Amino acid sequence: MPIDRKHRREMIFGAAAVLFSGAFKLILDRTDFSYHCLLALPLLTVYLIWLFASRRRFPQKGMRRLLTFSALLMMLWCIVKTIRYEFVSVDSDLSRLIWYWYYFPVVMLPTLLLMSSFYIGRTDSYELPPASTAAFIPAAAVTAGIVTNDRHQLAFKFRHGVPNALDSYSYGPLYYCAMGILFLCVAGILFKTLRSCTSRQFRRSFLLPAGVSALGGLYIISYTNSGEPLLFQRMYEFPDLTCLFFVCFWESLVMTHMLPSNDGHGEFFRASSISAGLTDTDMNVELHSENSTPPDKEQLAEAAEREVIKDGILLKVQQVTGGYFYWTEDIRELQQLNSRLEETRSYLEEENAMLDEAQHLEEGRRRTAEQNKLYDSISRRLKPEFDRLSEMLGQLPEDEEGFRTGMKRAAIDGVFIKRCSNLLLLAGGDSCIDSGELALSVGESLGYMELSGIYGNAEIPRGTKLPSDTVLLMYELFQAAVENALPELNAVMVTLNLDDSIVYRIELDNEKLPVLADFEERAALAGGRIDTEAADGSCFITFSVKGGDAI
């Protein structure tokens, strides 16, 4: 989403203030006019705007605290720098001490921003662990070393050996440590934000913050030049450009959306496809998505008391601070599912009655007798599932959410009964079943599981003949694994490899291992084995037959 108008106005004003400050200093730099206080005002305004904008745009309290401290540190640095140039003698010890203290913000600002980047992708309530404060130890140590430079001159070595801000000097190891902390922190922020990106267009946006970092690096390198100052060095002092670099660097991350912010949430809500909205206390709709039609006040008032269903659309209203939040759900598919489940229940009851009646029929022809025997076998094998489904449907909760949950679970059991019956019928007529029947059975079960928010995928090749007992074992093993993982199950993956042998693998995002003693005996009879493993929050069940006799 592009930046909003308020953000754009802040950026335009900030850029104008920075350019004005630089041009003003360039004009008055070679005059006797005292201009430092006047130059500090626009820069302090920029830092103050950035402070309030950061507190507005980022939801995490910890990030807001770090950015607030960063902005206050920039403002303090600007004020101290102004006092040094305006009211302190250049060759005094106080002036030199203030110069040393400049490097406290140099190493502290990048450290603070690096710590802020660790909030990317975290929840609003996330807080950094207490051990993270150890990151400030190197910054404090380098600052202490630079502040005490008069004792050892490891940061700035003066030409004549006597500390004097007017004397020429060279840089020591502590100075390069400070610059190293700065560069490492900037690189760490870039790495952390880039690592959090998932969209390809975000990765392309890496060029803008990388360009800002490159320009800042060029300034640091040119700053060590002892010759004639360059144009931008005459326009901005080292403290000013350092602070502006960090502001520009952080804003480049926001502008390229590498750093998520909370700007424009109203526009984002309107552009979304969610069927919801916000109203005031009088039920007047104030905000809704462009693709949804807001309900009238009468419907909202009724939905505030109880759920409203009209033409398969469920309307709910929840009171929030300053008004109400409403949302709609399309339950037509659920109603159709309920109707199909009722039909399935009637069909299963009739089928069960037919099978019971067929047991008492007198054997006629051989085909009729074998068919009756097969139906009787299916009935006995699936009777626990029939009884469980009937009990589940007879004890559905009265509340809407419980009813929906129960019906979704009943749908999963119902499709298993249906598909298992079909496979048993096919097994009764032939010793082999096409692998496509297993793919259809698992696929339909996964389709009904999606209604309960369980996402799955099946990669099962078709067109290969497999032993009927093996196909039944694989489908019932899938159902047993799913039932064991419910209701915590969120995702399931099923694959079947028929290259050199039969390798059937089930992966569930649940570490709970099922009890598969019966299946292990059946697998052994089929010449195979079943292996189970739990690792990294997932459960893996593998049925394999070496040199399986796929036809």
| CATH H superfamily, domain 454-551 | Histidine kinase-like ATPase, C-terminal domain (3.30.565.10)
Q: What is the largest CA-CA distance in the chain?
A: 122
Q: How far apart are CA 302 and CA 317, in angstroms?
A: 9
Q: What is the DSSP letter of 294?
A: P
| Higher pLDDT, residue 441 or 3 | 441
Give the DSSP letter string of 123-141. -TT----GGGGGGHHHHHH
Specify the pLDDT at position 376. Answer: 60
370-401 pLDDT, tens digit each: 555 555 666 666 667 767 767 767 777 777 77
Mean pLDDT for 536-543 is 87
Give, in order, the Cα–Cα distances in Å from 454 to each of 213, 261, 389, 480. Answer: 45, 31, 20, 15
241 CB-contact burial (10 Å; exposed 0-12 / middle 13-18 / buried 19+): buried
Q: Which residues lie closer than 8 Å to 317 by C-beta, 6 or more apart? A: 300, 303, 304, 324, 325, 326
The number of angstroms, rounded, from the C-alpha of 217 to the middle of its chain's C-alpha atoms is: 32
Give, in order, the Cα–Cα distances in Å from 237 to each of 36, 156, 304, 447, 469. Answer: 11, 18, 61, 65, 82
Look over the chain and give the mean of its residue pLDDT values, rounded to a whole number. 78
* Nearest alpha-carbon partner for 8 in 180, 312, 251: 251
Q: How far apart are CA 50 and CA 269, in angstroms?
A: 25
Q: Are strands 432-434 and 465-467 parallel, antiparallel or unpaired?
A: antiparallel
Q: How far apart are CA 187 and CA 170, in angstroms?
A: 26
Q: Are strands 455-459 and 491-497 parallel, antiparallel or unpaired?
A: parallel
457-497 pLDDT, tens digit each: 888 898 888 888 888 888 888 888 888 888 788 889 999 88
Neighbours of 334 (CB within 10 A): 18
Specify the pLDDT at position 31. Answer: 67
Specify the pLDDT at position 372. Answer: 54
Q: Model confidence at 1, in pLDDT bands (50, 70, 90)? A: very low
Instruction: Output the CA angle 452-454-458, nearest 5 degrees.
Output: 130
Side-chain-facing half-sphere of 541: CA atoms under 13 Å: 28
Q: Which residues lie closer than 8 Å to 336 by C-beta, 6 or more apart? A: none
186 CB-contact burial (10 Å; exposed 0-12 / middle 13-18 / buried 19+): buried
* Nearest alpha-carbon partner for 138 in 162, 107, 168: 107
The answer to whether the beta carbons of residues 526 and 545 sit under 8 Å apart is yes
Q: Give the three-class secondary structure for 545.
A: strand
Q: What is the DSSP letter of 315?
A: E
The number of angstroms, rounded, from the C-alpha of 492 to the middle of its chain's C-alpha atoms is: 20
Give, in order, the Cα–Cα distances in Å from 226 to each of 178, 249, 449. Answer: 19, 27, 72
Specify the pLDDT at position 400. Answer: 77
Place of tokens 């033409």: 311
309 forms beta bridges with 314
Give the DSSP letter string of 330-394. E-HHHHHHHHHHHHHHHHHHHHHHHHHHHHTSPP-SHHHHHHHHHHHHHHHHHHHHHHHHHHHHH
Place of tokens 């799913």: 482
Neighbours of 146 (CB within 10 A): 24
Q: Catalogue the E-assigned strands of 1-99.
A: none
Give me the long-range contacts of 117-124 (CB less than 8 A, separation at least 24). 117/188, 117/189, 117/192, 117/193, 117/259, 118/192, 119/58, 119/60, 119/62, 119/63, 120/192, 120/193, 120/196, 120/259, 120/260, 121/196, 121/260, 122/60, 124/59, 124/60, 124/61
Mean pLDDT for 269-289 is 74
318-363 pLDDT, tens digit each: 888 778 877 777 778 887 888 888 888 888 888 888 877 776 665 5
Neighbours of 3 (CB within 10 A): 16
The answer to whether the beta carbons of residues 143 and 136 sit under 8 Å apart is no
89-110 pLDDT, tens digit each: 777 888 888 888 878 888 888 8
459 forms beta bridges with 495
187-219 pLDDT, tens digit each: 888 787 777 665 554 556 677 777 777 777 777
Q: Give the three-class secondary structure for 494.
A: strand
Q: Residue 9 has which token pair?
A: 């106005």
Residues of the chain with pLDDT > 90, as a percent, come to 1
138-183 pLDDT, tens digit each: 888 988 998 888 888 888 888 777 777 666 778 888 888 988 888 8
Does residue 185 have a pLDDT over 60? yes
Q: Residue 426 has which token pair?
A: 């096919």
Give, in order, the Cα–Cα distances in Å from 113 to each of 69, 109, 261. Answer: 10, 6, 15
Does residue 224 have a pLDDT over 70? no
